[in-house]
Structure 1
Amino acid sequence: MTDGENQRQDKIQDQSVEISKLLGEMDQLFDGFGAWLGGQKDAESGGFYYAASSRRIPGGAPDIESTAQALNILERCDWLDAMSTDMKRGCIRFFQSKQEASSGYFYDDNPLMREDEVMVARAISYSLNALRKLGGQPLHALPYEAQQAPSYMSSPEDYLAWLKSVELTNSWRGCDRLSTSSVYVKQVEPASRRAEFAQKAFDFFANKQDPFTGLWGEGSYYVRISGTFKLHIFYDHFNVPLPREERIYQSILYALRHEEAVDMCYIRNPIHLLSYMKLSIPAEELREIISITMANMKRLLRADGGFSRELAHSPTAPNVAQVKEDEYYPDMPKAVHIGGGEVEGDMNAGTQALLIRSVCYQLAGRMAPPLIKAPMFTVLENN
């Protein structure tokens, strides 16, 4: 081995040691996380609250997204099997009780939730996935089967017209609207007709992608990366790789180095995209990515052991938190308030923080060690 090769190997080894140190520091951010999660459980409904303040606000109640996110956390930590049978049954009843018999949709108690097309579509995926994990089933036919899908699903041509109508002035919100339509596309039968709908979408997305950045729509780099993250969900549903992955990677590096991550989503979305794209990341750049990511997460860790979605506080209404105060998107839905807006941990940020940890280990080619679970189950079993 030449001197140059030896130096390269030494440098790679040094980066590996640094990455191990960073991952260890990241693990310490979760010391109080299990106990925080247990504190959000509601024994009466079987669901989970968004945040501690959710119990104190008028009309506060466990909601579909927070409960599904809590189950995602339990699954990711290998804690799901340790849930008692009664607790699992309670969660199943929670989701089943949210399904409307006439339409097949899943709705929270807050009537404003029904007016947010993204929340409505996402509630279907959240509820079905949660029921599957718990061994349950929906009680009624789903919207497409019940002929209650949106009117744009009448034909591939109507679907394309709707895709073209979606504003991308804020990439994150616009791409979220585009992506959630996959919930309905996946329900189309037969498979040949489903493929027609999907192809309309992929052709449209290809036409809208910026060839230089690899991103979609308008906004800051983090906003456009978040929009790209939303669209990747559509691609993933049909096992299709993202186009221009190398350009997307360079855009992610730029955002990490030059923009402030004021939202946990700005930390999670780039990392999640990297795991989906499965690029070969140089060791030095991987160390930099994990270092910036860990530092950004630390800023959102709260005294209660959880993480806030935003730097300033936990947003009261996550459904409108994509568009910040200095940003604009037309025809935004009304805010669906599920928290008190305090400086506290919230379920939206918590599930993302745990995913970030898992992905960072994955990118480093390592198995994430289990988090301490005893405190959480002590709280859960006594709740």
Structure 2
Amino acid sequence: MNKQLMDIQQDGDSLFNEFFEWLEGQYDTASGGFYYAQSSKRSGQFTPDIESTGQALNILERCRLLDRLNASVREKTIRYFQSKQDPMTGLFYDTDPNMRLDDVMVGRATGYSIGALGKFGASPLYPFPKQSAATPAYMESPQTLEAWLRSISLTNSWRGCDKLSHCATYVLALSMGERAPYLAELFAYLADLQHPSTGLWGNGSRYVQISGTFKLHLLYNRFGIPMQRVDHIYDSILDVLRKEHATDMCYIRNPISLLSSMKISIPLDEMTEIAEITIANMAKLKREDGAFSREIDRSPPAPNIAQVKKGETYPDMPIPVPLGLGLVESDMNASTQAVLIRYTLRELSGLPVQHLPVPQSLLSFSQI
């Protein structure tokens, strides 16, 4: 076990001082959900949202803290997610009507909701998905899927690959016999688009391309299909970490998660360098209220378009769905990623599992 790597990780853990106090403060006793940021809760302009609540539960689960939640909190959380399901489609929606227009947000919200209910041994109230209402037209045949794939712009690799990857939900709903021709179209198309020199997909900054590639790697893993040019992807990750500034928590998390999903052996000296760069980048996003913000200069008010540079547009750009006021403060999106980064770095470094310390008085929600 490498002492230098252990020391780097120990220094990184100091970034989580007062983190769990912030997390507990985001809880809403009335609904059983969690707010995105302190401004979301204090302003009275927002309600707890599905992603933030799902992300908060993921933090608690990753840190082995779910068992601190009492029966009342668990029941409220179950009711919160069940109340978000639309009986007509089986999908899950927030209160902002514009959220329904962003299929990436809907897909993520549905995934978070089903996952959260499963943590407590509960189920959705209605079948998911109801094929007649929820299945998109592009799933009519392998040929219509191919046409839809080609219609997705990868001008912004991150957004395009994220949107593209959500077809997996509907492909997986098919029987094994029906699925094969759809998979053939999907992965033949992706193979044609992979950049031969970098191993990445689409356009945008190198961090944006790595983020898009991470989304696709999850798609490949979901169907057990090996991704090509993994060595080129690894070299691209090292290059961007060394040369470019990470101005978004996703730019810090996505390379680490991509390395983890690739399941490759990383030389010790390069792993040490990766850990040092990553933790230094995280420190720039630590906020006075105790947790982390998505962007270097603020918490983005609408995280569904936070990956877009100011003034940038691209085809199929979503309508903003605000969750906060855009202040210099922590937000749930960045904070759940920070926890994931911390645990994944330990795993990549070959260090034993060691959970973040949490005061015993916290996260019992005993005020309920």
Partner of 2:255: 270
Provide Cα deviations, 1:206-252, integer angstroms capped at 9, x if missing partner.
11100110000001110100000111121122122322111000000
**Contact 1:34 1:376 (C-alpha < 8 Å) held by counterparts:** no
Supply the distance in 1 between the matched residues of 2:129 and 2:361 (Cα, whole angstroms).
36
Partner of 1:60: 46
Supply the distance in 2 between the matched residues of 1:22 and 1:33 (Cα, whole angstroms).
19
**Contact 2:293 2:331 (C-alpha < 8 Å) held by counterparts:** yes
Deviation at 1:375, TM superposition (A): 6.0
**Contact 1:125 1:183 (C-alpha < 8 Å) held by counterparts:** no
Supply the distance in 2 between the matched residues of 1:17 and 1:35 (Cα, whole angstroms).
30
1:129 equivalent in alignment to 2:115 = yes
Partner of 1:195: 180
Scaled by the length of structure 1, the TM-score of the pair is 0.93
Partner of 1:113: 99
Which of residues 215, 218, 221 is equivalent to 2:206?
Answer: 221
Supply the distance in 1 between the matched residues of 2:212 and 2:86 (Cα, whole angstroms).
30
Cα distance, 1:376–1:160 mapped onto 2, change above 3 Å:
farther
Gaps of 5+ in 1: 1-12
Deviation at 1:160, TM superposition (A): 1.2
Partner of 1:8: none
Gaps of 5+ in 2: none
Scaled by the length of structure 2, the TM-score of the pair is 0.96
Supply the distance in 1 between the matched residues of 2:191 and 2:120 (Cα, whole angstroms).
37
RMSD across aligned positions (CA):
1.5
Partner of 1:323: 308
**1:160-179 alignment, distance < 5 Å:** 160-179=146-165
**Contact 2:297 2:328 (C-alpha < 8 Å) held by counterparts:** yes
Which of residues 311, 321, 341 is equivalent to 1:336?
Answer: 321
Supply the distance in 2 between the matched residues of 1:257 and 1:41 (Cα, whole angstroms).
38
**Contact 1:39 1:380 (C-alpha < 8 Å) held by counterparts:** no
Which of residues 223, 234, 241 is equivalent to 1:256?
Answer: 241
Opposite residue 260 of structure 2, the aligned amino acid is S
1:293 equivalent in alignment to 2:297 = no
Q: Which moved more, 1:318-327 or 1:348-357?
A: 318-327
**Contact 1:34 1:375 (C-alpha < 8 Å) held by counterparts:** no
Cα distance, 1:247–1:376 mapped onto 2, change above 3 Å:
farther
Deviation at 1:57, TM superposition (A): 3.8
**Which stretches of structure 1, 4 residues or more, deviate above 3 A after TM superposition?**
56-59, 144-147
Task: Determine helix, strand or coil for the equivalent of 1:340.
Answer: coil
What is the number of residues matched between the two proteins? 368
Task: Determine helix, strand or coil for the equivalent of 1:380.
Answer: coil
Supply the distance in 1 between the matched residues of 2:143 and 2:78 (Cα, whole angstroms).
38
Opposite residue 140 of structure 2, the aligned amino acid is S
Cα distance, 1:275–1:319 mapped onto 2, change above 3 Å:
same
